[in-house]
Amino acid sequence: MAIISLFIWYGESRKFFKLTNGEYITLWKTYNNTSFIVRGKYYGLLPPSGNHLRTSNINSLSIYTKRDKTDTIYFNSLSNYRVSNIEIAEPFMIDLKTSTNQDARIFLKKVKRENFENWCTLHFNIRENYAMDENGVVLK
């Protein structure tokens, strides 16, 4: 059993990225060109059963969440994805392009930087396995 566990951990890459509000987002790159984006630190060996975003290992995407209200995580993906929003108690993952929320429209209108003070942002380059926050700081 220990060998199987080591094999699973060896073939996968999991990183925890800290948002500027102190919250964490997990990027879990797995076999079969599949990556998961999960709020918090996700340590599971099986795919997440709660709310998460599933995409390819070569995608680039951005996530946005309000600093003081983390019940929704907005995202903008450059490639195909699948979202799972099955747990009411966890933050929902919402595509900016399909959202009707007024806060999400702020990003789509590309307003001035001052209007982003209440938001945390992570821009993921999943292929290269890093993210950049709203201040331009590269997180590895």
pLDDT tens string 68-86: 887 889 899 999 999 999 9
Domain that holds residue 9: 2-139
Average pLDDT of the residues in 48-60: 96
Question: pLDDT at residue 106 above 70?
Answer: no
Number of domains in the chain: 1
Confidence of residue 13 (pLDDT cuts 50, 70, 90): confident
Question: pLDDT at residue 94 above 90?
Answer: no
CA dihedral 90→118→36→22, nearest 10 degrees, is -80
- Residue 103: what pLDDT? 62
- Residue 3: what pLDDT? 63
